[in-house]
Amino acid sequence: MSETEPLLVLRDIRKSFGRIEVLKGVDLEVRKGEIVALVGDNGAGKSTLIKVITGVHKPSAGEIVFKGQPITLKNVQASRLLGIETVYQERALADQQELWRNIFAGRELTRFLGFLDVAAQKRETARLMRSGMGLTSRAITVDSEVKGLSGGEKQSVAIGRALYFDADLIILDEPTMGLSLKETERVLAFVRSIREQGKSAIFIDHNIFHVHDTADRFVILDRGRVVGQFHRSELTHQQLVDMMIALHEAGQVA
């Protein structure tokens, strides 16, 4: 994989909130077709780093290069236009709205003057439900509200939405949190399918086993710094777990 060109490069990214420096110079690379896992304890700066990449936070210093071009992200819209999609931990769905509104929230399909192409939104949602989301239950239709879905189904909608817009980089923030075993398995299969489509992903998960099974590379973050990077072949499950424990206790990678 190392010979393919990098899709995303972060150089010396710093981010402070007031006097608290959350990111203290992070370097990170994501190549095409690669799934990179960000690992680290709470407060390591994972979520902040992700919000820098998606344009939610402006970095205090540092450079972001995407597809070979240095970029500055003004807002979420800007990162989406470039081809960066995010599946947020909070899922970013609206409970009382129909699926066809949720999928296209913020970038509706319109005919003219902003009038919705409802038929197209429903059609595309139905197609996506069958192909991308694996929501084949007859019980759920494009007119269903999100409210009635299970946690796993909601996550499927959030991931399906990210896939629909044909992003090059998909960021998944704790996508398996609160899911049952079976639902988790489906989400991890989704993540692997991202690689099969030749796209890249940044994947955050607290469960080391999920991470080890799914990601190509692990980037270990601790208190705002990258303290280690390993290819999957370099580490076994157990070594990764031991390392995380050592990091937690000693504050450094052995």
Partner 1 sequence: MSSVASDTKDRSAEPQHGPSFLWRNRFQIAIIGMLVVLYAVFLIGDWRTYTSFDIYRSFMISIPFFGIMALAATYVVTLGEIDLSFPSIYGLSGWAFSAVYVASGSFPLAFLVCILVGVVGGLINGLLVTKIGIPSIVATIGTMFLWRGLVNVLTQGQGIPIAQITGDPWHKLFVGQIPLGGSVVIPAQFIWFIAAALFFGVLFKRHRFGSHVLFVGDDEQSARMMGIHVDRVKIACFVILGVSAAFSSVFLLNQMLFFWATTGDGYLLTTLAAVFIGGTSVFGGKGTMIGTFVGVLIIASLEPGIISIGLSGFWTQFVYGLLITISVSIYALMLKRG
Residues 6+ apart with CB under 8 A from 46: 38, 40, 173, 204, 221
Q: Which of 94, 100, 140, 133 is nearest to 118 (CA)?
A: 100
Q: Quick one: 56 or 65, whose CB is closer to partner 1?
A: 56
Regarding 185 and contact with partner 1 (CB under 8 A), the answer is no
Q: Which of 132, 216, 206 is nearest to 173 (CA)?
A: 206
DSSP state of 56: S
With contacts defined by CB under 8 A, name the span among 29-37, 131-139, 227-235, 241-249 that binds partner 1.
131-139
Looking up tokens 């990214």 gives 13
Distance CA 76, CA 84 (A): 9
Q: How far is the CB of 71 from partner 1 (least distance, A)?
A: 16
Regarding 97 and contact with partner 1 (CB under 8 A), the answer is yes
Regarding 75 and contact with partner 1 (CB under 8 A), the answer is yes
| Residue 42 tokens, joined | 């709470």
Regarding 119 and contact with partner 1 (CB under 8 A), the answer is no
Regarding 183 and contact with partner 1 (CB under 8 A), the answer is yes
DSSP state of 83: T
Regarding 193 and contact with partner 1 (CB under 8 A), the answer is no
AA identity, residue 173: D
Regarding 124 and contact with partner 1 (CB under 8 A), the answer is no
Looking up tokens 């992200």 gives 73
Identify the residue among 182, 196, 249, 250 touching partner 1 (CB under 8 A): 182
Regarding 110 and contact with partner 1 (CB under 8 A), the answer is yes
Contact residues: partner 1, CB under 8 A: 56, 75-77, 80, 86, 88, 90-97, 101, 104-108, 110, 114-116, 118, 136-141, 143-145, 148, 150, 152-153, 180, 182-183
